[in-house]
Amino acid sequence: MNYDIVAVGEAMLRLWVPVGERLEQAPAFRVSVAGAEANVAVAAARMGARTAWLSALPQNSLGRRAAREIAAHGVDVSHVHWIDDARMGVYFVELSVPPRPTTVLYDRAGSAAALMDSDSIDWPVIEQARLVHISGITPALSDSALETSFEVVRRARRAGSLVSIDVNYRRLLWTPGECRAAVSEMARSADLLITTAEDALDVFALEGEPADVARALAALTACHRVVVTAGSAGAYWLDGGKEGFSPGHLDADVVDRIGAGDAFAAGTLLGLLEDDLEGGVERGLAMAALKLGIYGDQLSVVKEEVDRLIGGSGREVAR
């Protein structure tokens, strides 16, 4: 089967407490499955795309739970590489409201995904995909994951697949210089580079208006399609000779902001597949706004809900 989108990256278990509870006092944790590339695959699948997720998981009950939950949204997980005696990455989330920020604690060192190498990847799946997506998180997991990430984008490019990269800088995994070097290498094979304005500043030392940042990134990376998000304000997009700014949904209330960037990326990729980056950015902004109102990392809505938001439905109660 050929897929519209193949995403490569780690999945983790998320243990979290709702707003108003503290990690250090929690009598119990809610559990869900998370992971940037898996979140993208889930969101795209729920919009009707044929998606697959490639990764390595431990051959145990925790790995099976992750695969089952991702598959429940319509993502093909049959190409996952299973590893005996490996561990599942975990992260803890304490949701909050201003002025106290949401807190994230990771316990992912040495996870099954960090053990990924060339033998972990079903290469025909990569080479036959319409689009392959990866983020700056995956190459940061280990030396073998770094080399595998480079090989993923090189093989996808040689096979004629579109390649998208989300910078997704994680300061707890590596330094800005290490991220810059890896993302720049992958961007040589990329058709689209996505970043937040914050990551552009931290990783590439680029600041200013999103339009200026996008142009500078395109020049630095030789990637002619760049999207720079500016939080709830919206996103600036650059597509070769075309460029523009798409406004966000400033009225969106925040229940859980983790995963909103992945929902945005999924919508943008769908536009790229349709040769309509501007439309994809607008769809991504709507998907991100809806994700803000949902607990967990994954966008659990259907296409009709996104279409209603894009179409301007202002109903507070859908009857």
Query: Domains in the chain, start-ordered, CATH in brackets?
Result: 5-311 (3.40.1190.20)
The mean per-residue pLDDT over the stretch 287-305 comes to 96
Lowest-pLDDT range, 98-102, 108-112, 136-140, 146-150? 98-102
- Given pLDDT bands bounded at 50, 70 and 90, which one contains residue 314? low
Listed in sequence order, the residues at least 6 apart from 177 whose beta carbon sits closer than 8 Å to its beta carbon are: none
pLDDT at 277: 97
Lowest-pLDDT range, 6-10, 121-125, 248-252, 270-274? 248-252
The mean per-residue pLDDT over the stretch 15-35 comes to 94
Listed in sequence order, the residues at least 6 apart from 191 whose beta carbon sits closer than 8 Å to its beta carbon are: 162, 163, 164, 223, 225, 272
Per cent of the chain over pLDDT 70 is: 97
- Whether residue 319 is predicted with pLDDT greater than 50 in this model: the reply is no
80-135 pLDDT tens trace: 999 999 999 999 999 998 898 999 999 999 999 999 999 999 999 999 999 999 99
Listed in sequence order, the residues at least 6 apart from 16 whose beta carbon sits closer than 8 Å to its beta carbon are: 29, 30, 32, 92, 93, 94, 95
- Mean model confidence pLDDT for the chain: 95
Q: Kindly list the catalytic residues.
A: 262
Listed in sequence order, the residues at least 6 apart from 282 whose beta carbon sits closer than 8 Å to its beta carbon are: 246, 267, 271, 310
- Whether residue 48 is predicted with pLDDT greater than 70 in this model: the reply is yes
